[in-house]
Structure 1
């Protein structure tokens, strides 16, 4: 399995409270046990190393609705390999990394300031580091979390409320999590990004390692 993919899997299961991954010849299977997200199959190869025969075999063995497939190749290619009953996320994602060892050492004083009236709180529980920003009226404005797993740490569930975008909150969340990763001894950060967040991550030094296709088996061809 590609080392960045494995690093993402190891951190993602911690972040989401999923079952430990079961290693397969083609990657791994992660049990979630949720309605609409029973399990996910993550292929271990990336880019041109992803083989059509392998994708077809893994996808073809899925019979239950709510099973996800994660393939690190362009959806325009992968989509033609999936049979009937697969819904493909119309917003293709990407696997991204940030080498922390090349970044200058920072302290909380070096981070962007919290906008006037907003409140940030960061805490650690169960191995996770979480940070949230509340709006002046107390409502949710932004959040994110980090799952350190040794030399790598996975950034996950970063989001900003539409009502509070373009205020630098996403940048503040990322700086907070990146500093926490460094403090935990991680050398590299990994995340699976969306098109909406890709620009922010790239502005902070993250680079794309591979495209990401997310597909869910519906059993009847509709989402």
Structure 2
């Protein structure tokens, strides 16, 4: 189970984390890690590392030479169940990069953007982001949101996204009282 709180305060977090006692329950919210950690009930811990809620305005932009597929790669994209996926492979078929986006009315949520370390610094992350945001804009979305890791933040800022808030996660784990 996952709980995502768009607004959080000590009373709400403490109440929720005291009630949710099963191991593996997650909580994500838009507060700094040190604040969330001080509000958690016993048995909970920060997890997932630091993160950032990021956003961008979306519009369809025609392809430019900078966004063409680099030599040695091929791109495929498909939409199923309302989720558009972009996959980049090397010419020998090896995984290089990927990402997905789901449009929910005027907002698109980008998720699971990843570039294999052996293929980084070749513009593949930018290519994936461009294809995802173009697909979302063509489906009518006017804003994009995502949760970024510190590593991903540089890519997203480089393609125009901005940080709106910290994104912090916590998980309920087994403790001595659960044994």
The answer on whether the counterparts of 1:96 and 1:206 sit within 8 Å (CA) in structure 2 is yes
Measured after TM superposition, the shift of residue 136 of structure 1 is 2.9
Q: 1:179 to 1:90 in 2, by over 3 A?
A: closer
* SS of equivalent to 2:6: strand
Measured after TM superposition, the shift of residue 126 of structure 1 is 1.2
2:10 pairs with 1:55 = no
2:168 pairs with 1:213 = yes
Unaligned runs of 5+ in 2: none
* Match for residue 78 of structure 2 among 110, 123, 127: 123
* Match for residue 32 of structure 2 among 66, 74, 80: 74
* SS of equivalent to 1:106: coil
* Match for residue 100 of structure 1 among 46, 53, 58: 58
The answer on whether the counterparts of 1:143 and 1:173 sit within 8 Å (CA) in structure 2 is yes
The answer on whether the counterparts of 1:63 and 1:219 sit within 8 Å (CA) in structure 2 is no
Partner of 2:87: 132
For residues 2-50 of structure 1, give each alpha carbon's deviation from its aligned partner in whole angstroms, at most 9, with x where no partner exists. Answer: xxxxxxxxxxxxxxxxxxxxxxxxxxxxxxxxxxxxx1111121xxxx3
TM-score under structure 1 normalisation?
A: 0.75
Partner of 1:41: 3
Q: Which moved more, 1:61-70 or 1:89-98?
A: 89-98
Unaligned runs of 5+ in 1: 1-38
Measured after TM superposition, the shift of residue 124 of structure 1 is 1.0
Residues in 2 aligned to 1:111 and 1:60: alpha-carbon distance in whole angstroms: 51
Q: Which moved more, 1:78-87 or 1:209-218?
A: 78-87
The answer on whether the counterparts of 1:111 and 1:175 sit within 8 Å (CA) in structure 2 is no
* Match for residue 181 of structure 1 among 131, 136, 139: 136
Partner of 1:26: none
Residues in 2 aligned to 1:108 and 1:117: alpha-carbon distance in whole angstroms: 19
* SS of equivalent to 1:185: coil
Residues in 2 aligned to 1:186 and 1:111: alpha-carbon distance in whole angstroms: 23
Partner of 1:163: 118
TM superposition outliers: structure 1 runs of 4+ over 4 Å: none
Equivalent residues, number = 176
